[in-house]
Amino acid sequence: MTQTQRPGRRLARYRLVGTGALVLALGAGSAIQWGTPDAAATPPAAASTTASAAASASASASASASASASASYDAATKHDKEFNKTFQHKFAKVRGVRMHYVTGGRGPALVLLHGWPQSWYEWRKVMPSLAKHYTVYALDLPGLGDSQGSPPSFDKKTLARYVDGLLRDRIGLDRFDLVAHDLGAGVGFQYASQFPDRVKSYVHMDYPLPGRGLPAAQRSLDQDERDNAAARPVHTRTLLLTATGSLAATEPTLRPKFTGITRAVEIPKSGHWLAEENTEAVRDEILGFLRK
């Protein structure tokens, strides 16, 4: 699958772990500026007519570019009539970050967190099936997809708090099932640890948890390691899904922090992009787990 990077964003480092699993390195400081702020900066007053005209032209160009970016949020789905019968694109402001999410369906709430360098769109193939039984919320994490603005840090503990700000404070969800992949699974662990009463059940997909269980040569997320070591264990009922050949390397990194893993399985004939490479198997595992 081809991934598109927005202009001006720095790519995070990643390393392969086992067969296809990714360890992601997102900068933990505010020096990383991904996305664009909600409001365009006002150009300074010009000292001359020429300078004023130039500033005006520049502001107009910036406004046009901003409008174009905002209008592109549904570019991948606006012509998909079947998808649009069920799902809507929405935005909400969370502590200065304009977060984008796609929602639709009926039934209890089910939240989906994507991986790096993806967006909500990684779930597009499985969402229609899930929406027959659940009200789906597929988020764009801060700095990725169509979410705009930068949190003070991109460590997973901080990102989990932005997710909570969206789900609880803006959408009004008190309790829900959570499915998370890759980078999103790092956020998912921190979320379930910080807010255990809000997660009914958890699906953790193809992400070795940074910490002592991960070989030193493969560790690159120092802040996440420290946060994970200090985090409370997650007792929520948990399903672990990995790429083919990755379970043996991934499961030991989770066991010290997850006491409620009831099933751990490899998705057959799949690399790291589970929901896209074997949609049917992922769908069946998620629905079978949630219905128990």
Residue ranges per structural domain of the chain: 81-290
Decide the pairing of beta strands 176-181 and 199-205: parallel
| Dist CA 156 CA 224 (whole Å) | 6
Average pLDDT value for residue range 27-42: 30
Q: Is the pLDDT of residue 67 over 50?
A: no
267 with 244: CB under 8 angstroms?
yes
Residue ranges with strand state E in 54-175: 87-94, 97-105, 109-113, 135-139
| 159-204: pLDDT as tens digits | 999 999 999 999 999 999 999 999 999 999 999 999 999 999 999 9
Q: What is the pTM for the complete model shown?
A: 0.78
Tell me, which fold does domain 81-290 have in CATH? Rossmann fold (3.40.50)
Average pLDDT, the chain: 81
- Residue 14 confidence class, pLDDT cut points 50, 70, 90: very low
Residues 6+ apart with CB under 8 A from 131: 86, 87, 104, 105, 106
Average pLDDT value for residue range 53-76: 51
- Residue 292 confidence class, pLDDT cut points 50, 70, 90: confident
Q: Is the pLDDT of residue 211 over 60?
A: yes
At residue 208, the pLDDT reads: 95
Nearest 5 degrees, angle CA 23-CA 29-CA 33?
95
| Dist CA 5 CA 7 (whole Å) | 6
At residue 149, the pLDDT reads: 94
Tell me the residue type at 177: D
- The pair of three-digit structure tokens given for residue 245, joined into one six-digit string: 């050949």
Average pLDDT value for residue range 245-266: 97
DSSP state of 79: T
